[in-house]
Amino acid sequence: MNNLLLAAIILLSACSGPNPNPIKRAKVRRAEAYSTDGYVQMVVEIPAGINHWYSYDEVKKRIVIRQKEGEDELINFLPMPGNYGFIPHTQDSEGHPLQALLLSESLPLGAIEEIIPIGGLLLKENGAVKTLLLAVPVDSTKRIIQATDFATFLVEYDAAKRIIEEWFTHYKGSMQTAELGWRNEIYCISLIEKMAKKK
């Protein structure tokens, strides 16, 4: 348990960076699931290391802070353990884009980043099963871990894997979200292709 706590502190410390930019208009509506170089892209909604709930508003075409009972919504837990966001131009059966967690230093709000999917965490919440894509940046200078596939991540970064599991199954409170297991990068790439909107 002490080793897990120490690993959590190290992971969160690595994620802390400069304060995120003020809420701004993001060029998300023009972003595609794949870059011109063929890499998967994600949009950062919540920079690593913060506790504010930001999300992309389809009507306003910008990233805004969520409101709850007239107040800014906060994550009542440890800060976000990576850069949280979504893969643009993807859609599940409920109309939501594929969610992603990018393991890197904190990136600006609204950043569009080329990524390498390395695994997927399956979660069940309110009866619905969803996949959280886990990724690292294509730009190796932005990486905080040196895994580019699930097998390496599983062997070399097991503590980080367990921290991510604990965070996403507990941040909403006990018994709200259940973990259903992990999938490898091949599954994730296939899922992105399946969920990508056709032009």
* pLDDT value at 7 more than 70: no
CATH number, domain of 121, equals 3.90.80.10
Q: At 108, is the pLDDT very low, low, confident or very high (cuts 50, 70, 90)?
A: very high
pLDDT per residue over 22-59, tens digit each?
A: 344 445 556 788 999 999 999 999 999 999 999 888 77
Q: Are 54 and 66 in contact (CB under 8 A)?
A: yes
Indicate if the pLDDT at residue 153 is higher than 50.
Answer: yes
Residue 131 has pLDDT above 50, yes or no: yes
Number of structural domains, the chain? 1
Which structural domain range is residue 144 located in?
2-195
Q: What pLDDT, on a 0 to 100 scale, did the predictor assign at position 127?
A: 83
Question: pLDDT tens digits for 183-194?
Answer: 999 999 999 999
Give the residue with greater pLDDT, 165 vs 11. 165
Tell me the three state secondary structure of residue 91.
coil
CA distance 144 to 150: 15
State the greatest distance between any 2 C-alpha atoms of the chain, in Å, as a whole number: 50
Q: CB atoms < 10 A from the CB of 71, how many?
A: 9
